[in-house]
Amino acid sequence: MGSVFRASKTLKTRKYLFPLPSISIPFDAFGSCLRYCSHSRQNSKESAPIDLSRYPVEKIRNFSIIAHVDHGKSTLADRLLELTGTIKRGHGQPQYLDKLQVERERGITVKAQTATMFHKHKFHGCNEPLSFLLNLIDTPGHVDFSYEVSRSLAACQGALLVVDAAQGVQAQTVANFYLAFESNLTIIPVINKIDQPTADPDRVKAQLKSMFDLEPSDALLTSAKTGQGLEHVLPAVIERIPPPPGSSGSPLRMLLLDSYYDEYKGVICHVAIVDGALRKGDKISSAATGQAYEVLDVGIMHPELTPTGVLLSGQVGYVVTGMRSTKEARIGDTLYHTRTTVEPLPGFKPAKHMVFSGLYPADGSDFEALNHAIERLTCNDASVSITKESSTALGLGFRCGFLGLLHMDVFHQRLEQEYGAHVISTVPTVPYIFEYSDGSKVEVQNPAALPSNPKKRVTACWEPTVIATIIIPSEYVGPVITLCSERRGQQLEYSFIDSQRAFMKYRLPLREIVVDFYNELKSITSGYASFDYEDSEYQQSDLVKLDILLNGLPVDAMATIVHNLKAQRVGRELVDKLKKFIDRQMFEITIQAAIGSKVIARETISAMRKNVLAKCYGGDVTRKRKLLEKQKEGKKRMKRVGSVDIPQEAFHQLLKVS
């Protein structure tokens, strides 16, 4: 047989026959294909499909891991996946469930991830061990991603509350405990990192008892790093956490927990089956949109997408329905079988955006590329709000709403890393409410958009506040109280956890903490403070709009809203920083900070001048004066028509102004 096999076909249309060109295929390629196919068949025989019918509701446990940042959630999740054989030991990828580059670089969890595990457990008095299906949900710890935590807890009946044996209870430990407590979850305390030299498990047990009324005897002592004590974790999950409530005989109801976009499969929805069963090929409908879909693929995360063809009551998995956009997959939606009538599940509160910032391409011609990058990224992060806007200084761009400053920072980093976008971000702002003399109210997310109508004057202003929880070593109480007072804070609670640590609650304006409050808090407490906040109501305040003028023209991207008492200081800081970062031009540049028509701060950048007197070695002084006057007139004319270039560094520096 020859070394080349020749294939030729014809393409038939309604009217014509088009001969396709001959394709030369090396004969060795057929051997490779045959070997690949036989290898695939062999693999498919080895990995038999998972039979989920063996796991009724009584044999299912859905639990989450919650903790403060860097208390070992993701490492503990790794060890549990290894213990159950879900992933191989020494897989060479620490924090297996942290799949984003930004998560690995920063050492934080941004997206909640789900993994299904199978574990055999022998109860006391039983002869044979029983096999259980465990759904583990690894959640973020930072306050900005508490929305992810609340969604994850909705699919769980219990939670592992992980606390560092050396650091003890921290601010986000408190916040996440109450999230789980309000969801009526069974809480299992896990004291982690007991292998550290500074570990003090007894002190941490006392803190758990005094703050959360958790019994010290219920706490598990573990070290996720060395594996010490981990053999008690899964038995505790099976014995203490109840199975999910739900009826397999009822009509299908499933809760949509999360969604993301895959280039090959389309929108992949993470769901929790509350009642009934879901099978491939079923027709399902959305309670929120009313649209109907066909189930193209269904399965579990084990830990990657593993098709099973079915999901039964109490189980957590994924569904592919052919949705074209994540906007169709509304988080908290109830999905059910078409042509059935069900009561929708409670769902979640919509995400509340706390911080707003403008995003503009560094090069104005890259707007379409930035638009495409943001569309792709928001497919995998539906908690960001995006609206288009234009700025006279920066051109076309977007006004984006984020859950917090870290959320904004992570979004920017993902834009740059995953899509190569170069962006300029404006000063982050918070939403304010202004009331005018005619009784009308307007919510302002972009300070530049605040109407300045001389016929209507502002009669009242409201700004959002937060309830901040701060846990610090006792010796830093004085400096922290001073810091909170400077930021217009109101003390709500002050107590001592033990002899070494103090617990404080403050009501603070969101604008005061959104930029650099956490950095200052860490600085004055030598890094020992922990900080968490939750949004509260609006409070009335004396607010003014602060404009930045360059040569008398306002720069809308630099406008900000500040408290009247701080306007003078903030204006002075802004013009000082701009003077450092704006390059000298051929004409004089005047930088001003103004409230309405009143200028409160000013700096001047002198023009670059050519020495026009260099060629004058003598003669009458009127000749020199004439040359200087001519130069002066030229500079005036240039100032009228010239535009001031604002470097990107100037915008970054403005982020640091409180």
pLDDT in tens, 472-513: 889 999 999 999 999 999 999 999 888 888 999 999 998 888
Pick from 295, 262, 227: which is nearest to 380 by CA? 262
Q: Are the CB atoms for 299 and 305 separated by under 8 Å?
A: yes
What does the alpha-carbon distance between residue 277 and residue 658 come to, in Å, rounded to a whole number? 54
Q: How far apart are CA 137 and CA 112, in angstroms?
A: 7
Long-range Cβ contacts of 474-483 (<8 Å, 24+ apart):
474/499, 474/500, 474/501, 474/502, 476/524, 476/525, 476/526, 476/528, 476/529, 477/502, 477/504, 479/524, 479/525, 480/504, 480/521, 480/524, 480/525, 480/529, 483/517, 483/520, 483/521, 483/524
Structure tokens given for 577: 């920083």
611 is known to lie in a ligand binding site: no
72 is in an annotated binding site: yes
Query: What is the pLDDT at residue 650?
Result: 64
Q: Is the peptide bond prior to 303 cis by the omega test (within 30 degrees of 0)?
A: yes
In tens, the pLDDT along 131-187 reads 999 998 766 655 566 666 777 778 889 999 999 999 898 888 888 888 888 888 999
Residue 10 has pLDDT above 60, yes or no: no
Q: Got the DSSP string for 131-196?
A: EEEEEEEE---SGGGHHHHHHHHTT-SEEEEEEETTTBS-HHHHHHHHHHHHTT-EEEEEEE-TTS
Of 85 and 152, the structure prediction assigns the larger pLDDT to: 85
Average pLDDT rounded to a whole number, residues 213-224: 92
Structure tokens at 102: 């930004």
Is 139 annotated as a binding-site member?
yes
Contacts of 139 (CB under 8 A, 6+ apart): 64, 65, 66, 73, 109, 112, 145, 148, 149, 152, 153, 176
Structure-token pair, residue 251: 């009509």
Which of 505, 469, 510 is CA-nearest to residue 487? 510
What is the distance between the alpha carbons of residues 172 and 161, in angstroms, rounded to a whole number?
Answer: 11
Q: Is 164 part of any known ligand binding site?
A: no
Is 78 known as a binding-site position?
Answer: no
Predicted confidence at residue 100, as pLDDT, reads 59
Mean pLDDT of all residues in 383-390: 84
> Which region holds residue 314: left if phi is over 0, alpha if psi is between -120 and 50, else beta?
left
Contact 259, 268 (CB under 8 A): yes
User: Annotation-wise, does 69 bind a ligand?
Assistant: yes
Q: Can you read off the two tokens belonging to residue 282?
A: 């079923």
Is 141 part of any known ligand binding site? yes
Question: What are the tokens at 74?
Answer: 């993701």
Please tell me whether 15 is known to bind a ligand: no
Distance CA 72, CA 465 (A): 31
Nearest by Cα to 578 from 650, 656, 652, 648: 650
> Does residue 290 come out as left (phi exceeding 0), alpha (psi in the -120 to 50 range) or beta?
left
Structure tokens belonging to residue 472:
């610090």
- In degrees and rounded to multiples of 5, residue 27 shows phi and psi of -65, -30
Task: Judge whether residue 211 has pLDDT over 50.
Answer: yes
Query: Is 194 labeled as ligand-binding?
Result: yes
Q: Using DSSP bridges, classify how beta strands 316-320 and 297-301 pair: parallel, antiparallel or unpaired.
A: antiparallel
Q: How many CB atoms sit inside 10 A of residue 128's CB?
A: 8
119 labeled binding residue = no
Q: What is the pLDDT of residue 41?
A: 39
Q: Return the closest-CA partner of residue 588 out of 577, 604, 600.
A: 604
Give the pLDDT confidence of 119-140 residue by residue, as tens digits.
988 887 777 889 999 998 766 6
The C-alpha atoms of residue 129 and residue 136 are separated, in whole angstroms, by 21
pLDDT in tens, 554-597: 888 788 888 888 899 989 988 988 888 787 776 788 899 998 88
Question: Who's near 48: CB < 8 A, 6+ residues apart?
Answer: none
- CB-CB contact of 390 with 359 (8 Å): no
142 annotated ligand binder? yes
Query: How far out from the chain centre does Cα 481 lie?
Result: 30
Q: What span, in angstroms and rounded, lies between the C-alpha atoms of 477 and 93?
A: 41
Q: Rounded mean pLDDT of 179-199?
A: 91
**Mean pLDDT: which of 385-389, 481-485, 650-654 is highest?**
481-485
Between 258 and 564, name the one with better pLDDT.
564
Task: Answer yes or no: is 193 a known binding residue.
Answer: yes
Q: Is the pTM of this model over 0.85?
A: no
Give CA–CA dist 88/79, Å, rounded. 10
Residue 52 φ/ψ, nearest 5 degrees = -75, -15
- Separation of alpha carbons 112 and 98, rounded Å: 9
Q: Which of 317, 332, 62 is nearest to 186 (CA)?
A: 62
Task: Specify the pLDDT at position 494.
Answer: 92
- 177 sits in the region (left: phi over 0; alpha: psi -120 to 50; else beta) called alpha
pLDDT of 585 reads: 72
As a residue count, the chain comes to: 658
Percent of residues, the chain, with pLDDT higher than 70? 80
SS3 275: strand
* Tokens of residue 222, six digits: 């573990």
Q: What's the sign of the alpha-carbon dihedral 101, 105, 109, 110?
A: negative
Q: What is the pLDDT of residue 241?
A: 94
| Tokens 């986000």 found at | 172
Cα gap 277→308, rounded to integer Å: 12
222, 236 contact by CB (below 8 A):
no
Nearest-Å Rg of the Cα atoms of the chain is 31
Question: What is d(CA 552, CA 550) in angstroms, rounded to the nearest whole number?
Answer: 5
**Block residue for tokens 């758990």:** 208
Residues 319 and 308: beta-carbon distance below 8 Å: no
Residue 186 annotated in ligand binding: no
Q: What is the DSSP string of 454-496?
A: TTS-EEEEEEEEEEEEEEEEGGGHHHHHHHHHHTT-EEEEEEE
In the predicted model, is pLDDT for residue 36 greater than 70? Answer: no
Closest CA relative to residue 222, chosen from 120, 75, 66: 75
